[in-house]
Amino acid sequence: MFETRLTKLLGIKYPIIQGGLQWLATAQLASAVSEAGGLGIISSLSFPDRNSLRKEIRRMREMTKKPFGVNLSMLPELTKGDRTEEILEILLDEKVPVVETSGRSPEPLIQKLKSEGIKLIHKVPSARFAKKAESIGADAVTIVGFECGGHPGMDDVTSLVLIPSVANSLHIPVIAGGGIADARGFLAALALGADGVLMGTRFVATQECPAHPKIKEWFVKARETDTMVIQRSIRNAARVIKNKAAEKTLSMEEKGASLEELLTVISGQMGQKALSEGDLEGAIIACGQCVGLIHEIKSVKEVIEEIIQGAQSILEKLDGMVKEKDQGV
Ligand SMILES: Cc1cc2nc3c(=O)[nH]c(=O)nc-3n(C[C@H](O)[C@H](O)[C@H](O)COP(=O)(O)O)c2cc1C
């Protein structure tokens, strides 16, 4: 059930991917996703140096024998220099099965990854970047809509429009992200032409996610209106929890603050502290609109199985509707 070009490409049971989650996507969370039949992804930038990243990849291999990925976020780093080369070296050396890139074109990396047999999924927020990713040889593309947690790009196009638009124009597998948190979203994405889904926000509110309990509780209580988009002024739009830090950032942007001034509020290190200490107001925390669809902290296995079983039930219901119509009911 739900075997797609993506499950075949990656060698996974279900077409469900956990997107990179800065500070949270450790081997603990990612291995739970891979063990449950999806593709778990470790966030490389959460690890400060070569050794700690290498150790985490090896820990992942001890926790699961199933395929997994490592996210290489190449957005202009807001706090430190560009670590792409350093991280790439570890990924090649460790021969990780899958690399998820985001932020800028992975063209300079692609030959090296391919020569080690590593699959490349590039994550983009717009149809034109998706086309470009295919043209340079990515194995699959993830398209994220305006609803998504993290970086929705600058075009403000929602998943409902982006998924079919990209699915129509690409030949490689398309993964849909942004706004998906349950069986309905999963099946809708497949119906819109995707070969699989990627979820970020839903996996934050899981037992295996290392976020502080206060953060997970907020994700359970929050509504779909509790996020906002900031950092447009530096062309690095980010959908985040609507809190004091995000409101302050937006008001500084409206007054024309420079990147250096903004960094006093948006620095990644502050986010790390907030996620581990449960500080909901003092730092920027990425979060998608589908937070309004999350009502319980569950295990990763429960999240994935409920999606698969729920999608089967919806399919049966829809099938029943078609049959009733055929019989003139
Ligand atoms: C807390 C959090 C941290 C994230 N960190 C990263 C990251 O480091 N790199 C990245 O490419 N995407 C990151 N994302 C984006 C997700 O990988 C994914 O694209 C997005 O969450 C999908 O949309 P959704 O939130 O509606 O599921 C993050 C998202 C969240 C919620």
314 Cα to the center of ligand 1, angstroms: 27
324 Cα to the center of ligand 1, angstroms: 41
Cβ of 162 closer than 6 Å to ligand 1, yes or no, is: no
If we measure between CA atoms, which residue out of 321, 253, 316, 319 comes closest to residue 284? Answer: 253
Cβ of 227 closer than 6 Å to ligand 1, yes or no, is: no
d(CA 3, CA 176): 16
Cβ of 178 closer than 6 Å to ligand 1, yes or no, is: yes
Model confidence over 100-142: pLDDT tens digits?
999 999 999 999 999 999 999 999 999 999 999 999 999 999 9
pLDDT for the residue numbered 329 = 59
State which of 16, 45, 148 you would mutate to test the pocket of ligand 1, scoring each by most atoms of that ligand within 8 A of its C-beta. 148
Q: Looking at the predicted structure, is the pLDDT value of residue 145 above 60? A: yes
Q: Looking at the predicted structure, is the pLDDT value of residue 80 above 70? A: no
Cβ of 144 closer than 6 Å to ligand 1, yes or no, is: yes
State which of 16, 17, 18, 22 you would mutate to test the pocket of ligand 1, scoring each by most atoms of that ligand within 8 A of its C-beta. 22
Confidence of residue 81 (pLDDT cuts 50, 70, 90): confident
Q: Which helix (H) or strand (E) holds 124?
A: strand 119-124
Cβ of 19 closer than 6 Å to ligand 1, yes or no, is: yes
d(CA 254, CA 247): 11
Question: Residue 36: how many CA atoms within 13 Å on its side-chain side?
Answer: 27
Residue with tokens 């196009």: 157
38 neighbors 197 (Cβ within 8 angstroms): no
Predicted model pTM: 0.97
179 neighbors 145 (Cβ within 8 angstroms): yes
d(CA 125, CA 129): 7
Confidence of residue 75 (pLDDT cuts 50, 70, 90): confident
101 neighbors 122 (Cβ within 8 angstroms): yes
Confidence of residue 267 (pLDDT cuts 50, 70, 90): confident
Residue nearest to atom 9 of ligand 1 (CA): 20
306 neighbors 38 (Cβ within 8 angstroms): no
What is the number of other CB atoms lying within 10 angstroms of the CB of residue 251?
11
271 neighbors 249 (Cβ within 8 angstroms): no
Q: What is the dihedral of CA 47, 92, 34, 286, to 10 degrees?
A: 40
Beta bridge partners of 286: 240
If we measure between CA atoms, which residue out of 173, 166, 33, 40 comes closest to residue 97? Answer: 40
d(CA 87, CA 69): 13
Model confidence over 298-323: pLDDT tens digits?
999 999 999 999 999 999 999 999 88
